[in-house]
Amino acid sequence: MAEATSRCHCSVPHCSNNKQRQPYLSFHAFPSFEYDRKKWVHAIRRDQSMTFTILRGSTFVCSRHFTDADYTSATGRKRLKKGAVPSRFLWNNWGQTARQSVYERVRARHGLCACPILSSDDAQEDDGDMVPEVTAGASDHDYAVAPPPGAQDAAAARINELEAEVRRLETEVMQLRIEHSLSQFQRFCASDEDIRFYTRFPSEEVFQAFWKAIEPSASMLVFWSKAQKKGQTARIEASESHHRSLPLIDEFILYCCRVAAGLKEKMLADIFKVSLSTVSRIIITWANYLYLILGSLPIWMSRQEVNSTMPEKFRQFCPEVRVIIDCTEIRCQNPSALTLQSEVFSSYKNTTTFKGLIGIAPCGAVTFVSSLFTGSISDQELTKKSGILDLLEQGDACMADKGFTITSMLAERGAKLIIPPFKMAAQFSREDAERTQAIARLRILVERAIRRVKEYHIWDTAVPLTMSGTVNQLWTNCCLMSNFQWPLDVKGHKSASAS
């Protein structure tokens, strides 16, 4: 019944013996007699099915599962007896090493010698030393052995020492976090000039005021990756947020360094000693958070607010102006798809761009920011889709350049368009020339506002297509945060000092 081929494998569960790795073992085929075969199948705890089929010459049981009594050597060769059944398996504790008793493990844990339990006869023969007799009950229930004297007091004292060490380390960690936070803020905000470069805020006083305003809600900020996993409708607790590698104010400074100073994400990861994925997660999270916070501010000024803050030059030439608008474009990466290329290609800039509309009040504050559209859109279509027409009221005036032929659209709202006059004759009349100069001097305010927004250095290079999901938020944040700089002046004096 034994096989010598090197392809023999044992079919007993949890046994991986085979003839190639254990050539010293013998492998026995299942008996041909049906009754004996069923005994073997029952013994190895397997049932014949599609996953286990007994085949002659390929289904074996190795000799490790038989006892010495199952073999005979009457013919001079060791052979399996007829009717022998395998009986040594993992589930009947064959092949397992004896486990130490609870008594021995407890004694070893306390560093005591585990003495063997001696009978009374052995004790008398052991050099005459007297060893107390141990009853059978004590050897059976050795897990109730009492600890040595003073062990509980020593353990309690050790626990108190470890608790004190934990409290000391927690205090040190908190101090290090505070020092790290202060050092990062002082590193980037040592002077007003540094603050203007890294954050575009005009001074530390303005920065601190802005931070104190957003800090309460920012403390409950949840990372964008966590919000995506939970879903838009799920309620997320602040405690469930991703573990923060940086203090909250450092996250805001990191965002400002990326947007205002234009530092690359790899550089920020090295400066703040965090991973590149953490930098990306912080930027996306803060872009969406500030978009929500700043977007909820009522920046559109009422008619009374516009009149009360209107400079004298506007009162002299066009007192009915409510908003000054203009379109601007930012470069974006050239997509590989030809359809997308045609949509984002701007014939004015001769490159692929995103296009948006900005509106400011006569006082210079940004009061309207549209979403970004593809660069191929016209100024008229962008004005219509931006939603600014819904904000204008009867009697309002909108100032723009000559490219905005939106007179009919404004007339439907009861508003009018103020643009430089078109040249209808060989040369301008004196009145048209004065009007053109006056409108140009006033309309330059929106150009300065756009210049302020583009001084955020994130727009120095083409926007990669990977940022298309957050480019609207970043653009809107830059436009609205420019209102925290020095107010624009018609003469341009204060705007020059802010830049």
Using the predicted structure, report yes or no on whether residue 411 has a pLDDT greater than 70.
yes
Task: Report phi then psi at 226, rounded to 5.
Answer: -70, -40
- Reported as a single tens digit per residue, the pLDDT across 69-88 is 888 887 778 888 888 999 88
Share of the chain above pLDDT 90, in %: 41
Answer with the residue of higher pLDDT: 228 or 469: 469
Helix axes 276-295, 265-272, angle to 10 degrees: 100
Structural domains in the chain plus CATH codes: 1-116 (no CATH), 169-295 (no CATH), 303-498 (3.30.420)
Model-level pTM?
A: 0.60
- Averaged over 191-214, what is the pLDDT? 91
More confident residue, 118 or 244: 244
Rounded CA-CA distance 474/371 in Å is 11
Q: How far is CA 53 from the centre of its chain?
A: 52
What integer pLDDT is reported at residue 240 of this predicted model? 46
The 10s digit of each residue's pLDDT in 324-378 is 999 999 999 999 889 899 999 999 899 999 999 999 999 999 999 999 999 999 9
For the CA atoms of the chain, what is the radius of gyration?
42
| Average of per-residue pLDDT values in the chain | 82
Question: Is residue 114 scored above 60 in pLDDT?
Answer: no
What is the rounded CA–CA span in Å between residue 359 and residue 255? Answer: 25
pLDDT value of residue 307:
92
Nearest to 368, CA basis, from 403, 392, 332: 392
